[in-house]
A = this chain, B = another copy of it.
């Protein structure tokens, strides 16, 4: 057997015509989801519900949550056709179940819904870390004969909750799909098309590659953004510092306003990959300290220059 490629990357939106054809062929064989159950009426779950209602009018949307208030609100704004605090009620008859809760509670929810799942139902999640989701939820569902594919729509906001949900949240966002359980390609394409209709473009990769990728591009920026706030403000005159602050401080620290307990969860769930990058950051910060302490302007300028070049390369600037 050939060793698997470390990651496969395919953009399906207006780029890869052959992939589009495959999708059309697949749609002839298998209809698209006609009923979607979303577990978790937070920012992501709520926004997904709104996006489905707005962009897939034929799809029946059901929403589960622990507390009735966000569900009632979701009903009142037309985000769902049906809501319930009983997960087994919500998933009954659903073709697609989307777990939009914190990663730490997904296994309990899946265990509760499992007996009520329709045969052939597909389960996915929207967690920011994928390895641990596959190890827990993916393993349980696969053993029960249910197809599980991980999803990570890379969309969000500093604002939390159903009341900040928007049908446009996923517009233009990248959605990473992790199919570590090797669910059949036809099912994967169905899920891909679902995310594309919600506004995303999809990339596939293995869960481990996903976790190392988001540690780099999302989790480390978050940690360093908070570090920047602490380094700038701790022990200083916060009022004066705010008065003289400009766009640099504002931009560099923007994401530090994310919900702290949610981010502590994410960083901890992805700790092996984040620690590897934190160690790299510590080593480089030590180097910068040395350059400054000895007045090595040349090395400092080279380090800064390389940062600018890498960023320009990554962002296509």
Contact = CB atoms under 8 A, between A and B. Distances in A.
Interface of A: 7, 9, 11, 154-156, 173-174, 176, 203, 212-214, 216-218, 220-258, 260-261, 263-265, 267-268, 271, 274-275, 277-282, 284-286, 288-289, 292-293, 295, 297-298, 300-308, 310-317
A240 to B, nearest CB: 6
Contact of A265 (B258, B288, B297): B297
A48 to B, nearest CB: 17
A239 to B, nearest CB: 7
Nearest to A231: B281
A241 B314 contact: yes
Q: Is the interface of A mostly helix, strand, loop or mixed?
A: helix
Given A230-B280, A252-B254, A264-B304, 17 more contacts: A213-B237, A216-B232, A217-B246, A221-B252, A224-B224, A224-B231, A225-B228, A226-B303, A226-B307, A228-B252, A231-B280, A231-B284, A245-B315, A252-B252, A260-B305, A278-B288, A278-B292
Contacts of A312: 257
Contact of A264 (B229, B253, B297): B297
Given A221-B252, A251-B255, A310-B234, A286 B282 contact: yes
A255 B248 contact: yes
6 contacts: A221-B249, A251-B254, A256-B307, A261-B305, A267-B300, A278-B285
A236 B252 contact: no
Contact of A285 (B9, B241, B282): B282
Given A154-B244, A271-B292, A274-B292, A304 B263 contact: yes
Given A223-B288, A249-B221, A256 B304 contact: yes
A240 B213 contact: yes
A213 B244 contact: yes
Nearest to A253: B311
Contacts of A308: 226, 229, 256-258, 260
A230 B303 contact: yes
B292 A285 contact: no
A156 B306 CA distance: 21
B264 A227 contact: no
Contacts of A223: 288
B252 A251 contact: yes
B227 A315 contact: no
Contact of A314 (B222, B226, B239, B311): B239
Contacts of A264: 297-298, 300-301, 304
Nearest to A232: B216
Contacts of A315: 242, 245, 250
Contacts of A311: 229, 233, 253, 256-257
Nearest to A240: B9
A114 to B, nearest CB: 28
A88 to B, nearest CB: 30
